[in-house]
Amino acid sequence: MKNRTIYTVLFLACVIGFWLFENFYSPATYSNPESSNNEVVSGKFLPTSTTGDIVRHEHYMLSYNEPFEQAEWVLYELKKSHLTYDDRKRPYFIEDPKVKTKSADWRNYRGSGFDRGHLCPAGDRRFSEYAYNETFYTSNISPQDRDFNAGIWNRLEQQVRYWCKSYGDLVVITGGILKDGLEEIGDEDVDVPEAFYKIVLRKDTKQVLAFLMPNKESQEPLQHFLVPIDSIEKQTGIDFFEKQTQTWQDGVESGVNASGWKF
Instruction: Return the pLDDT at 36.
Output: 60
Mean pLDDT confidence for 220-241: 98
| Position 92 pLDDT exceeds 70 | yes
Mean pLDDT confidence for 189-199: 98
Instruction: Return the pLDDT at 4.
Output: 61
| Position 18 pLDDT exceeds 90 | no
Mean pLDDT confidence for 224-238: 98
Mind listing the domains of the chain with CATH numbers? 2-252 (3.40.570.10)
| Euclidean distance between CA atoms 149 and 154, whole angstroms | 6
22: burial class by Cβ within 10 Å (0-12, 13-18, 19+)? Answer: exposed
| Position 124 pLDDT exceeds 70 | yes
What amino acid positions are annotated as catalytic residues? 118
Instruction: Return the pLDDT at 32.
Output: 78
Average pLDDT, the chain: 90
| Euclidean distance between CA atoms 32 and 35, whole angstroms | 5
Closest CA to 32 of 102, 90, 78, 97: 97
Mean pLDDT confidence for 240-258: 96
| Euclidean distance between CA atoms 132 and 121, whole angstroms | 9
| Phi, psi for residue 10 in degrees, rounded to 5 | -60, -40
- Mean pLDDT check: name the lowest of 3-12, 174-183, 199-208, 240-249: 3-12
The pLDDT confidence band at residue 11, using thresholds 50, 70 and 90, is low
Instruction: Return the pLDDT at 20.
Output: 36
pTM flag (> 0.85): yes
| Position 16 pLDDT exceeds 50 | no
Instruction: Return the pLDDT at 119.
Output: 98
| Euclidean distance between CA atoms 232 and 175, whole angstroms | 11
List strand residue ranges (DSSP E) for the chain, in order.
54-56, 61-65, 70-78, 114-118, 141-145, 170-176, 184-185, 190-191, 195-202, 208-214
DSSP string, 38-58: --SS-GGGPPP-SS--EEE-S
Of the chain, the percentage scoring pLDDT greater than 90 comes to: 83
| Euclidean distance between CA atoms 124 and 171, whole angstroms | 12
Other CB atoms within 10 Å distance of the CB of residue 233: 20
Instruction: Return the pLDDT at 23.
Output: 37
14 vs 153, higher pLDDT: 153
Mean pLDDT confidence for 133-157: 98
Instruction: Return the pLDDT at 7.
Output: 53
